[in-house]
Amino acid sequence: MTQALDIADLKKKARRRVPKMFFDYADSGSYTQGTYRANEADFQKIKLRQRVLVDMTNRSLETTMVGRAVSMPVALAPTGLTGMQHADGEILAAQAAEEAGVPFTLSTMSICSIEDVAAHTKTPFWFQLYVMKDRDFVGNLIDRAKAAGCSALVLTLDLQILGQRHNDIRNGLSTPPKFTPKHILQMATRPFWCLDMLKTQRRTFGNIVGHAKNVSDLSSLSTWTAEQFDPQLSWKDVAWIKERWGGKLILKGVLDVEDAKMAAETGADALIVSNHGGRQLDGAPSSISMLPKIVDAVGDRIEVHMDGGIRSGQDVLKALALGAKGTFIGRPFLYGLGAGGRDGVKLALDIIRKELDTTLALCGKRVIADATSEIIAESPF
Ligand SMILES: Cc1cc2nc3c(=O)[nH]c(=O)nc-3n(C[C@H](O)[C@H](O)[C@H](O)COP(=O)(O)O)c2cc1C
């Protein structure tokens, strides 16, 4: 593990440890994957200003995200099926985030349940909500997140229907996963993953089975998830969700200035500029290219965060310089998890922290609040 120097190294290790269908599930965008690629590539177009002979002592990356103190402005993004990258994946990632002093966000579509993650951590985590047609189930989920002490609700707006990911279809990945001879063969070539998986009971959607009406086993779960994402979700729903939750609310999946204005109107605490990691609307612009426009339009009214394509501390710094108050990472922590469980996630965060700290210093700044547009040499956005 210690040999991994960057997130790309962790990705290579994860590819060797995680069965193909689950590795591909993480490393995929929708359709041509153009937006997925653009998320990463557009960061490379931004150039930083090299400054010299400034005092670099006493640096700090500490700040806040929706009022929560963080050791650096990098949260773990909600990701479904995380417990399939590594046994007990959500619990391990939440523990690593806790140790690193950054927020962990649990997906509705997680393997470990809200209660299970709460029982294995001390710091409140954030909960991501998908709004299903079964509003009783949704209300219940909100109440469960509250009861578990979650300190922010992340409401995802960009997945009312699913963008197609060719890899998942080719691999026969389904929700919940099926175990055909092809899949069993893939798993047999990943013995460490299998051994860990045999030791855990957490292998299905922990927030759903036993909680949604008529979902008690894998086949009823499959039918339920296929039918439940709500294509009629609207801005009006944000109001009742906000009221029922009553705490910090983050709206995730805003990529357009008009939508950002609507998001600011709702009174939510933050929005995340995001295209779901290039997994939904293929052909949409990269998140980083839209960030400055959205900050310009609503940055004085709502905290603006971003995700999509961050693979290094340099990327985090660029996002902050273009106006983000905080960032989220998806694949970087999933690769760490697949490569080495809790230690792998911790390493992913340590790598990003060190890159961020060094880059901040080389830009001639000592505190993260000074990472403003002043540190940008050139940006096409
Ligand atoms: C494997 C995977 C599963 C995801 N599942 C969810 C999810 O359940 N809910 C959600 O709001 N976003 C989900 N996302 C999107 C992430 O929260 C985040 O927006 C995205 O990963 C950021 O891009 P990055 O992976 O390039 O950092 C998922 C992303 C990945 C890669």
Q: Is residue 217 part of a domain?
A: yes
Give the per-residue pLDDT at 227. Answer: 85
Q: Is residue 195 part of a domain?
A: yes
Collapsed DSSP state (helix, strand, coil) of residue 378: strand
Please report, in range form, the residues annotated as the binding site for glyoxylate.
25, 165, 276, 279
What is the number of structural domains in the chain? 1
Give the per-residue pLDDT at 175. Answer: 62
Q: Is residue 158 part of a domain?
A: yes
Q: Is residue 134 part of a domain?
A: yes
Q: How far is the CA of 276 from the centre of ligand 1 (A)?
A: 5
What's 128's domain CATH number?
3.20.20.70
Q: Is residue 131 part of a domain?
A: yes
Give the residue numbers annotated as catalytic, written as ranges. Answer: 276
Nearest alpha carbon, ligand 1 atom 6: 79
Whether the CB of 331 sits within 6 Å of ligand 1: yes
For residue 33, the tally of other CB atoms under 10 A from its CB is 17
Contact 379, 47 (CB under 8 A): yes
CA angle, 326 then 329 then 331, to 5°: 170
Q: Is residue 373 part of a domain?
A: no
Q: How far is the CA of 274 from the centre of ligand 1 (A)?
A: 9
Q: Is residue 188 part of a domain?
A: yes
Whether the CB of 277 sits within 6 Å of ligand 1: yes
Q: How far is the CA of 288 from the centre of ligand 1 (A)?
A: 16
DSSP secondary structure, 133-171, as one string: S-HHHHHHHHHHHHHTT--EEEEE-S-SSPPP-HHHHHH
Give the per-residue pLDDT at 1. Answer: 64
Profile the chain (381 residues) by mean pLDDT over runs of 10 residues.
Answer: 90 96 96 98 98 95 98 98 96 98 97 97 97 94 98 96 90 75 87 92 90 76 81 94 98 98 98 98 98 98 98 98 98 98 98 98 97 96 94
Ligand 1 atom closest to the Cα of residue 309 is 26
Q: How far is the CA of 40 from the centre of ligand 1 (A)?
A: 14
Whether the CB of 66 sits within 6 Å of ligand 1: no
Q: Is residue 62 part of a domain?
A: no
User: What distance in Å separates the CA atoms of residue 344 and residue 260, rounded to the nearest whole number?
Assistant: 35
Instruction: Look up the domain containing 181 and give its range.
Output: 7-46+69-352
Nearest alpha carbon, ligand 1 atom 1: 26
Question: Cα torsion for 98, 103, 106, 112, to the nearest 10°?
Answer: 0
Please report, in range form, the residues annotated as the binding site for FMN.
78-80, 107, 128, 130, 156, 252, 274, 307-311, 330-331
Give the per-residue pLDDT at 28. Answer: 96
